């Protein structure tokens, strides 16, 4: 897995993450409600400290949005109810090769006022591993990150089965098999993620996450992979001989978008967390339509997928963007994708019976 595009340049994630930022803003009420619950919970005394983590923070302005919302919710609760604010410990997590330099430089922004006292640090590592001590966390937030898998499904990579077959007929034929492989990988990864976090939470701990998912349950031949447009553009490049066909067939993006029923089922089956609230929103709902013009949308796709594409194919990004521009409106893929993708946001409470 590769991080998002580094730095602050034109193609950086920092400059091209408006769609994700819009979703972060929509998550704020869930975060505020979780903080109020943590402050008023009858099972624990009013906390003297609070440990909050953002998993998959990336870099740029979005890295601090969720934890800032949590800090602000603590501050306003304490002002309203005249409580001594807890000291807040913030951990910002992402993969070790994330642009943490940029994240560290921005940390001082979390200490805008003296109350609450905030100490912040970064926690490089995969959220598919243990990251925090047992029983230490109050709140975990995560936006636009947990649809990334720990790896592409091995049943495909080992057997050299392309994730996005260049031939449309073959692609449709293989869809059930590819779907099962990706869905199973997501189920394994997300179940593992919940088990790891369950150990790290205090009783009553809260988690607010949002991921990209799909409207429909099961197989949708028009949009199976949530990264369908990327597969499509690369397939055009392979057909035109710009990239090598064999190289194309061995390209896998480790990303899966579940339906809300699928996500709910996995959380319930794993059992460590109960679902307090789940919201499904269309990708474009309440968001500035300027974010979804083909140009803007592609720049945002580039900021997310360039590192993965670059690692596998080498320097093909300029040609990739030219192909995208040429084919977008022609092939209708962008429209199909925007109609079918959703944000799944869910607020979870650690079940008291789990360890
Ligand atoms: C699209 S960015 C989201 C960044 C930010 N949360 C936002 O909403 O804009 C997804 C982030 O998830 C991170 N990520 C993917 N897999 C991860 C893993 N296994 N552990 C930690 N971070 C991961 C990526 O490196 C990337 O920075």
pLDDT at 353: 60
Task: Give 287-332 pLDDT, tens digit per residue.
Answer: 788 888 888 888 888 888 999 999 999 999 999 999 988 877 666 6
pLDDT at 219: 64
Closest by CA to 194, choosing from 36, 38, 355, is 355
The residue length of the chain stands at 355
How many alpha carbons fall within 13 Å on the CB side of residue 71?
Answer: 24
Closest by CA to 27, choosing from 59, 62, 58, 1, is 62
Pairing of strands 341-350, 273-282: antiparallel
How does the average pLDDT of the chain come out, rounded?
89
Closest by CA to 28, choosing from 86, 85, 55, 68, is 68
Q: How far is 353 from 337, CA to CA, in rounded Å?
A: 40
Cα of 91 vs centre of ligand 1, distance in Å, is: 14
181 contacts 189 by C-beta, under 8 angstroms: no
* Residues 6+ positions from 288 with CB-CB distance below 8 Å: 18, 22
**With a 6 A CB cut-off, is 228 part of the ligand 1 pocket?**
no
Pairing of strands 118-124, 87-94: parallel
**With a 6 A CB cut-off, is 196 part of the ligand 1 pocket?**
no
pLDDT at 137: 96
Q: Among the atoms of ligand 1, which is closest to the Cα of residue 150?
A: 19
Task: Give 128-147 pLDDT, tens digit per residue.
Answer: 999 999 999 999 999 999 99
**With a 6 A CB cut-off, is 231 part of the ligand 1 pocket?**
no
Task: Give 204-229 pLDDT, tens digit per residue.
Answer: 899 999 999 988 766 665 667 878 88
Q: How far is 88 from 114, CA to CA, in rounded Å?
A: 11
Cα of 332 vs centre of ligand 1, distance in Å, is: 28
Q: How far is 337 from 346, CA to CA, in rounded Å?
A: 22
Tokens for 313, please give them.
């194919």
How far the first Cα of the chain sits from its last, in Å, is 30
pLDDT at 109: 84
Helices (H), 1-64: 18-40
Which range (62-76, 162-176, 178-192, 325-339) has the least confidence? 325-339
Coarse DSSP helix, strand, coil percentages of the chain, rounded to the nearest 5 percent: 45, 20, 35
How many alpha carbons fall within 13 Å on the CB side of residue 164?
Answer: 25
What are the strands, taking DSSP E only, across the chain? 49-55, 87-94, 118-124, 137-143, 201-214, 273-282, 341-350
Pocket test residue of 23, 27, 55, 94 for ligand 1, highest count of atoms within 8 A of CB:
94
Report the nearest-CA residue for atom 19 of ligand 1: 126
Q: Among the atoms of ligand 1, which is closest to the Cα of residue 58?
A: 27
Cα of 57 vs centre of ligand 1, distance in Å, is: 6
Q: In which band, very low, low, confident or very high, does the pLDDT at 341 lie, cut at 50, 70 and 90?
A: confident
Tokens for 227, please give them.
């990264």
**With a 6 A CB cut-off, is 272 part of the ligand 1 pocket?**
no
Domains and their CATH numbers in the chain:
18-350 (3.40.50.150)
Which range (76-80, 111-115, 272-276, 344-348) has the least confidence? 111-115
Task: Give 7-22 pLDDT, tens digit per residue.
Answer: 777 788 777 778 889 9
The 10 Å Cβ neighbour count of residue 161 is 17
Q: What is the DSSP string of 107-174?
A: GGGGGSSSSS-EEEEEEES-TTS--S-TT-EEEEEEES-TTB-SSS-HHHHHTT--SS-SSHHHHHHH
Q: How far is 347 from 276, CA to CA, in rounded Å?
A: 5
91 contacts 122 by C-beta, under 8 angstroms: yes
- Structure-derived torsion over alpha carbons of residues 183, 298, 341, 240, reported in degrees to the nearest 10: -60
Q: Residue 37 above 90 pLDDT? A: yes
């Amino acid at each position: 897995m590769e991080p998002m595009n580094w730095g602050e340049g034109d193609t950086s994630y920092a400059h091209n993450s408006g769609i994700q930022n819009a979703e972060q803003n929509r998550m704020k009420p869930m975060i505020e409600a979780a903080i109020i619950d943590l402050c008023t919970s009858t099972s624990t005394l009013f906390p003297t400290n609070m440990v909050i983590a953002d998993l998959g923070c990336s870099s740029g302005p979005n890295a601090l949005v969720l934890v800032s919302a949590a800090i602000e919710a603590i501050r306003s609760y304490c002002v309203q109810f005249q409580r001594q604010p807890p000291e807040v410990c913030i951990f910002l997590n992402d993969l070790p090769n994330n642009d943490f330099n940029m994240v560290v430089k921005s940390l001082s922004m979390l200490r805008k006022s003296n109350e609450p006292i905030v100490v912040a640090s970064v926690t490089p590592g995969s959220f598919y591993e243990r990251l925090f001590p047992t029983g230490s966390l109050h709140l975990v937030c995560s936006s636009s990150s947990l649809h990334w898998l720990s790896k592409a499904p091995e049943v495909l990579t080992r057997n050299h089965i392309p994730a996005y077959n260049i031939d449309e007929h073959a692609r449709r034929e293989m869809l059930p098999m590819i779907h099962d492989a990706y869905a199973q990988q997501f189920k394994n990864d997300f179940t593992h993620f919940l088990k790891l976090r369950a150990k790290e939470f205090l009783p009553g701990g809260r988690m607010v996450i949002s991921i990209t998912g799909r409207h429909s349950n099961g197989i949708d031949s028009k949009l199976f992979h949530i990264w369908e447009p990327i597969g499509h553009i690369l397939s055009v490049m392979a057909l035109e001989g710009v990239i090598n066909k064999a190289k194309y067939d061995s390209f896998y993006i480790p990303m899966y978008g579940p339906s809300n029923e699928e996500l709910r089922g996995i959380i319930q089956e794993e059992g460590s967390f109960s679902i307090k609230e789940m919201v499904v929103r269309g990708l474009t709902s309440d968001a500035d339509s300027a974010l979804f013009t083909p140009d803007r949308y592609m720049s945002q796709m580039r900021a997310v997928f360039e590192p993965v594409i670059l690692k596998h194919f080498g320097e093909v990004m300029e040609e990739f963007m030219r192909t995208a521009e040429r084919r977008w409106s022609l092939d209708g893929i962008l429209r199909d994708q925007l109609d079918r993708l959703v944000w799944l946001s869910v607020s979870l409470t650690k079940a008291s019976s789990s360890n």
